[in-house]
Amino acid sequence: MSLAKEMEQQGSKLFKYRGKLPIVILLLALALHAYQSYNGGIQNAFLKSFNYQLVCLLVSLLGLGIRIITLGFVFKNTSGRNTTKQIADSINKTGSYSMMRHPLYVGNFLMWLGIGMLTANLWFNVFFILSFWLYYERIMYAEESYLIGKFGEEYTKWSATVPAFVPKLSNWTKPQLDFSWSKIIRQEKSGIAALFIVFMLFHQLNYYFENNDQLDLSLSFWNLACILSIVYLLIVKLVQKTTNLLDDSKR
């Protein structure tokens, strides 16, 4: 079997489980952070400070922002969360897709990188970056093979001028569609809640080992942010279940 065919087959299999990588990374990061905290914690004052945690949050929010800007302008049946098979009724060429071919994966990378940075462990973050590269390189290869097979020369011509992962800002083309807030609220509600839950868990680990095995039960920044994100998630789910306010058949 050729290497190209092997990568395509591997990517097609990994595509179905692409949502599992962040869970593995999260569990490893939490385990490492607990181990470090148990053995004296992070020694560098800045790396264990609230300001450093905010830096990590900003990296993750940048990734979330890229996802929001991307998804808010895409056509229906493109850039979805499907895991059973590839779906693409058209090629997204404007907005974020005019600067890079895989903006959602760039957004994912930054969201998870911010979480990895919470460990303040260089080697863990090197491991995360290499794992992401090996994992998603194959998924992107499989996706592009599918798009070439479906759209042919239209896709190859477009992809020849657009980088895969590192954005080319000079390529920016105005989106064809108006921004859809209903699509963003529907699709990103769980991701927003999960992000703040994870940051709260890291905060609780820090607090537990620094305060004689006690949890932080106050309305601290991370606890409050977590609570608000969960309330937001529940409200959106309730609105979706009881009304059609967020329905949009075109998006």
For residue 173, the cross-strand partners are 95
* pLDDT per position as a tens digit, 78-108: 766 665 667 777 888 899 999 999 999 999 9
| pLDDT at site 2 | 67
On the question of pLDDT at 14 being above 80, the answer is no
Q: What is the mean pLDDT of residues 222-239?
A: 97
Report residue 41's pLDDT band, with 50, 70 and 90 as the boundaries.
Answer: confident
Report residue 77's pLDDT band, with 50, 70 and 90 as the boundaries.
Answer: confident
Q: What is the mean pLDDT of residues 38-43?
A: 78
On the question of pLDDT at 109 being above 70, the answer is yes
Q: What is the pTM of this model?
A: 0.91
Ordered structural domains, the chain, with CATH: 3-175 (1.20.120.1630)
On the question of pLDDT at 19 being above 60, the answer is yes
Mean pLDDT rounded to a whole number for the chain = 88
Which of the given ranges, 31-35, 57-61, 119-123, has the highest pLDDT on average? 57-61
| Percentage of the chain modeled with pLDDT above 70 | 91
On the question of pLDDT at 62 being above 90, the answer is yes
Of 87 and 217, the one with more pLDDT: 217
| pLDDT at site 82 | 61
CA 144 to chain centre: 20
* pLDDT per position as a tens digit, 132-191: 998 888 888 888 888 888 889 999 999 999 999 999 999 999 998 889 999 999 999 999
Long-range contacts, 159-166 (Cβ 8 Å, 24+): 159/101, 162/97, 162/98, 162/99, 162/100, 162/101, 163/99, 163/100, 163/101, 164/100, 164/101, 164/102, 164/140, 165/100, 165/101, 165/102, 165/105, 165/106, 165/140, 166/100
Query: What is the rounded CA–CA span in Å between residue 251 and residue 244?
Result: 14
Report residue 193's pLDDT band, with 50, 70 and 90 as the boundaries.
Answer: very high
Query: What is the rounded CA–CA span in Å between residue 10 and residue 23?
Result: 20
